[in-house]
Chain A
Amino acid sequence: MHDHRISAKGGMHRASGEVSSGLSSRSHLAFDHAGECFVASTSGALFWPDRETLLVADLHLEKGSAYARGGQFLPPYDSQATLDQLARDIAHFSPARVICLGDSFHDVEGPARMSDPVMQRLKSLGDGLDWTWIIGNHDPVIASSVKGMVAESLTLQGNHREVTLCHEPQQTAEEGQATSQALELCGHLHPVTTIHARGRAMRRKCFVLSAGRIILPAYGAYTGGLSLSDDAFAALIDKDTRLVVIGRQTMAITKWADLSRVRRR
C-alpha cells in the first residue's frame, strides 16, 4: 500500500510504507475525498491545499476560565496552548485563509475573560490572513473585540462541487449519498474512535469521512471526545465511512466498518 504525506511546507512526496524511527514525518496525511485533496494533521487541523485554507473546529477557547467561574480551577493556560498549536499549523501550512468551524470560544463571554497577552497573540496570529469564525452553539455571538469575519456558514467552490463550511452536520449520510451535491466540512461532535489491538483499546481523535461530509475532530486543548458508537453519529456514518485516526505522532486511514469489526487479537 502506498502512503502519501507532506514532508515540508505544502510539498508532497511519496513516503515508503516501511516502519521507520522517524515518526515525525508521518504527522500529516494527505487523502482524497469527494474529488478534493486534503491534508490532515495530528493536531486535528485540516489543510485544503487547492484553496490554501486551514480548517480547525471546536477550539473552545477560554474553557478553563469558564470552569473557574463555577469554582473549578482548571489551569488557565488552555487558550494559550490551543493558540500555540494553531501557530504551529499556520507556520507549517502557510495558508492564505483560516476558518474556524464553530465553538471557537467555550461561551459568549470567552473573549471578555481572555487575558490581554493571549488576546494579543490571537490578533497577531491572524495578521496577513483571511480569518473567518463560523458560529457554533457555544459561541452564537462572537464579540467585536475579536478580529476576523463572522459567518453562520460559508460556501466555497471546490474542484467538482460546492463545499459548505458549517458547525453542525446538516445532512444525514443517506442524504449525502443520494444528493452528492455539496461537500460539507464541519465539527461540533468531537469524534473519537477506539482502536483494538493486542488486547488493548486505544481511544483516538479522528476525522470522519462520509459521503458528502468530513467531520473534524475537536482542536482545543481542553476538548474531550465523543465516541463514534454514540447515537449522535448513527445517522452520520455508514458502511463506506472512512476515518483518519490520529495517533501520538502518526496517522492512519481506515474504514469505520472494518475497524468496528476487528477485535482484540
Chain B
Amino acid sequence: MDAKARIETGLPPARDQFHARFEIAQDRIDHSDLPSVFANWFAGRGWQLRPHQAAMLAAAEDGQPTLLVAPTGAGKTLSGFLPSLIDLNDPDQDWRDQLHTLYISPLKALAVDIARNLEQPISEMGLDISLETRTGDTPAHKRKRQKQRPPNFLLTTPEQLALLLASREAESLFASLQTVILDELHALVTSKRGELLSLGLARLRKLAPQMRPIGLSATVSDPLELAHWLVPHEAGEAQEEPQILRLIGGTSPDISVLNSTERIPWAGHSARYALPDLYELIKQHKTSLLFVNTRSQAEFLFQNLWSINEETLPIALHHGSLDVSQRRKVEAAMSAGALRAVVCTSTLDLGIDWGDVDLVLNIGAPKGASRLAQRIGRANHRLDEPSKAILVPSNCFEILECRAALDANYIGDQDTPPIRKGGLDVLAQHILGRACSGPFDPVDFHAEVSSSYPYRHLSWELFEQAIDFVATGGYAMRVYEQFAKLKPMRDKQSGKTLWRLSHPKRAQQYRLNIGTIVEEAMIKIRLTSWKGGSGEPRRLGRGGRVLGEVEEGFVSSLSPGDSFLFAGQVLRFESLQENSAVVTRTQHREPKIPAYNGGKFPLSTYLAARVRAMLADPDSWQRLPDQVRDWLALQKEHSIIPAADQMLIETFPRADKFYLTLYAFEGRLALQTLGMLLTRRLERAGARPLGFVASDYALMIWGLRDFARLEKDLGWSFEQLFDEDMLGDDLESWLAESAMLKRTFRNCAVISGMIERRHPGLEKSGRQITISSDLIYNVLRDHDPDHLLLKATWDDAAAGLLDIARLSAMLARIKGRIIHASLDRPSPMAIPVLLEIGKEPIYGAAEDEMLLETARTLMAGADDDDGLCP
C-alpha cells in the first residue's frame, strides 16, 4: 500500500464557488464495511483498500455521477469496478442475463486488457458475474446473443455503444443498466468520439434513468469541466452535482534532458546526432520505450538504431500503419519481456499495461504536457517508484522547449484542450442512429440531446436543421425529398409527429458509416518479388505479404522505382494493383522519398509562453547546453533577442528573394493560418510574396520585394500588417480556397453521412468512382453557403486546424510590441527556419509558380517551339 498517495476530494480552492459538491465523508474511507468475500480477498493478497477505492465506494452510495482523477498506475480501473462488483455480489438480487455495468474505453485493446485483469479477482473470489467484451472483432453470433442475453459487465468502445444504441433491442438491453464506467475520459472528451459518446450517454440516461456514470481520468487542468461532462443539462445548466475525487501524489517522475556530447543541429527533426547516446541508454536499461511524434520519425529511428545495433538487441517498431498482426506480435513480445526497446508513436499513448518498462525516451520536443505525462506514465507502472524519462531534443529550438518544460516542473499540471461545442456532423450521425432504433418525437429528442454537455446550448432551430439535413440533405431546393432517409409520421396514440426511418436499408447504411474517426483512404502495402530472370521475361509475383497500410495520398506521390521506408525496411514501389501498392525489397540503404508524415502535434500555449520567457531571460540560458547558449549569444550579436512580451520580425535578402521571419512561438497550426492570411495581405499590398513555411516557433515568408521597405515603399507598417482585422475579411476570402478547410469538410461530410466511407471489398475496382469532397465543397460553397455542413466545417476548423482563437489572442498580445531587425543575411535563429523550406509543404501563390517552374525546367531541354502553334 502506498502511503504517499492521498485522496483529495473536490476542487482547487479558487473554483470552490461552483455548485459542485466535494466533501466526501473522510471517516467513511477508513472503516469501509467491505463484504467479507472482498475483505478476505484483499487480505489474502496483503492489500488494503486504497483511499480512492474506498472513496469510490462511498461515492457509489451517494449515487452521484463521479469523476476519479488519478495519475496512471494508481489502480483507477479496479476502483471504478469495485462498487459494481460488490453490488452484483448481493445474493438478494438476480442479475442473470442482465446488463449491470457498461465499460467504455477509447481503445479496444484496452477493453480486452481490462477484461483480462477483472477476470482474476472475479474468479478468485468466486463471484457469479459474467463479463464480456464487444469490439469489432467479436463474432456476429456472439454480438447477436449479447443483445438478447447480455453479460453483467460489458466492456466496449464508443463506436460499439453507438451501434448498440441504434439497434431495436436498445431499450430492453439497457433497461437494467446501473453503472457506466468511462475510462481515459480526458482523452475521449476532446475529440469527436467524445461528442458521439456524450450523445450516447444522454441516450443511456433516458433508457436507464437509474444509471450512474463514473469517469476515470488522468490528471487534467480542469476537472470540474470534465465532471460536468458526466451530468445531465437543461437549458445549458447542470442538473446534478458531480462528485470529484482527486488522487494526488505518488512520486514525481525523474525527467531529464539528454546530455549529449555530440553537436546538436540547428534544424531538423531526426535526432540523428543522439543515436549513439540512445543506443547506450537502451543497453543500460531493461526495457525502453522510445516515443516519437510522427510515423516517419519512427521508421527513421528504428532503421538507424538497427544500423548500429552491434549486439543485436531485440528492438521493435510499433505504429498505427503497420499491419495488425505485426503490431500484436510486438505487443505480445513486449508483455512477455522479450524486447529491450520499442520505437513507437502515439498508438501506445493510452493506458495499456506494458510490463516492466524502466525508461521512456521522448524524441523531439514534448509539445504538450499531457502527452508527455501519459508517455512517462508508461514507465514503471507503480505509484511508489519514480518513472524515469529522458527528453531527446532534435534541434536547438527543441532544447529550449524541453528545458522550459522541465523548469516549469509542470508535468503534473496538465494542459488538455478545453471541451469543444458538439459538432453538427456528429449530431447528424446520432440522429440517424436514433431513428434506426425506432421512431422519435423531435421535441423529446431535442431535450435529450441538449442534456449532454457538448450540446447543452444546441438551439431548437439548429436541431431542426440537423434533422432536415439527415432526412433530405437539407437543401433549400428540396429536390431530394423522394429519396428521403427520414420521414415524418403521425403517432396514432399521441397524435404527435414522429420521425422514422424511410427504409431498413438506411439502418445498414448507418452501421457501415458509424464513427467519427475519418482516415484518409488507405492503401495496403504488399511485399512481393520479381519472378523469372535469365531468358524468361521478369514479372512481379502475385499475392505477397501485407506489411501495413499508408495513406492513398502518399502512394499517389510515388512513381514506379521510387524507394521509401516502411515497416523498418527500404522498399521499392513497383505498381498499384487495385487497392494495394506492390513493393519489392531493394538494396538501397537510403530511401529516395522521405517517409510520409503522420500527425504532428502543435506546441501547447502553455509551453509556448514558457519558451518565450526563457528566451527573453539570458540568466536562464545558464542551464542550456553550451552550443545552444552560443547560438543565442550569436543571435543577440547579429540581431535581437525579443523580450517575453515582444514579437521579433527579421527581414533579410537572400539570393534573388527577400525574406521575413517572425518569431511568435504559437504552434504550427496558428502560424500556418497566420501565414495564409499574411501572404494574402502582402499580396494586396503589392509586396509580391511567393510562399511561406511555418514551424511551431516561427513563420517565414519570402517574396520578390524587400519586406524591410514595406512601409516606405508601400505604406504598410508592421503594426497595420498584423492588425486584428486580418481575422475578418482576409480570413473569409482565404477560407474560400483553403485546402485545410476542404480537408475539414471531408471529415464532416463523412461523419455526417453525406459521403459514405469506403469499405474494403465493397469498392468498385479502380476507376473514377471516388467523389472528390473538394469538388463537392466548391459546389456547396458557391450555391448554398449557409448549409449546415459548412457551418459544421467552419466550427471545426476555427477550433482545430486553424487555431483561430490562439491566433487572435496572439494578435492582441503583440499589438504595439512588434520589433523589427533589418538584416543583410539570415540570423542564427532564422537559419533553422530557412532549412525547413523544402521539407515542409509550401503554401500560397507559390503553388502555381511551382507548376510552371517544373514544366519550364522540363521543357528547357526540349526543342524550342516544339509542338507549339506557329
Contact = CB atoms under 8 A, between A and B. Distances in A.
Interface residues of A, number: 73
Interface stretch (A122-130, A160-168, A240-248): A240-248
A9 interface: no
A69 B483 contact: yes
Interface in A36-63: 37, 63
A44 to B, nearest CB: 12
B128 to A, nearest CB: 46
A33 B485 CA distance: 50
Interface in A1-21: 1-4, 12, 17, 19, 21
A194 B766 contact: no
Contacts of A230: 576, 766
B779 A250 contact: no
Nearest to A199: B838
B860 A1 contact: yes
Contact of B768 (A21, A224, A242): A224
Interface stretch (B217-225, B470-478, B623-631): B470-478
A71 B485 contact: yes
Given A31-B867, A242-B867, A254 B858 contact: yes
A247 B867 CA distance: 20
B858 A259 contact: yes
Given A68-B483, A202-B847, A259-B858, A73 B475 contact: yes
A229 B848 CA distance: 22
A242 B782 CA distance: 34
Interface in B703-731: none
A242 B767 CA distance: 22
Interface string A245-265: 101111011110011101111
Nearest to A223: B768
Interface in A186-239: 189-190, 194-204, 218, 221-227, 229-232
A3 B852 CA distance: 12
A4 B505 CA distance: 55
Interface string B762-773: 000011111110
B51 to A, nearest CB: 54
A75 interface: yes
Contact of A200 (B753, B776, B850): B850
Interface string B760-800: 00000011111110011011101110010000000000000
A179 interface: no
A81 B576 contact: no
A75 B848 contact: no
A265 B454 CA distance: 46
Contacts of B114: none
A226 B869 contact: no
Interface string B556-600: 110110100000000000011100000000000000111000000
B473 A68 contact: yes
Nearest to B553: A201
B475 A76 contact: yes
Contacts of B311: none
Contacts of A132: none
Interface residues of B, number: 75
A194 B558 CA distance: 9
B526 to A, nearest CB: 15
A222 B556 CA distance: 20
A199 B596 CA distance: 11
A74 B852 contact: no
A252 B857 CA distance: 11
B785 to A, nearest CB: 11
B506 interface: yes
Interface in B841-870: 841-842, 846-862, 864-865, 867-870
Nearest to B683: A21
B472 A80 contact: no
A248 to B, nearest CB: 5
A142 B848 CA distance: 39
Nearest to B865: A2
Nearest to B503: A71
Given A32-B869, A230-B766, A17 B856 contact: yes
Given A31-B867, A190-B768, A254-B854, 4 more contacts: A32-B870, A77-B782, A81-B779, A223-B775
11 contacts: A19-B852, A32-B870, A68-B479, A76-B473, A115-B477, A194-B557, A221-B778, A230-B766, A250-B848, A250-B852, A255-B859
Interface of B: 469, 472-475, 477, 479-480, 483, 485, 505-506, 509, 553, 556-557, 559-560, 562, 575-577, 592-594, 688, 753-756, 766-772, 775-776, 778-780, 782-784, 787, 837-842, 846-862, 864-865, 867-870
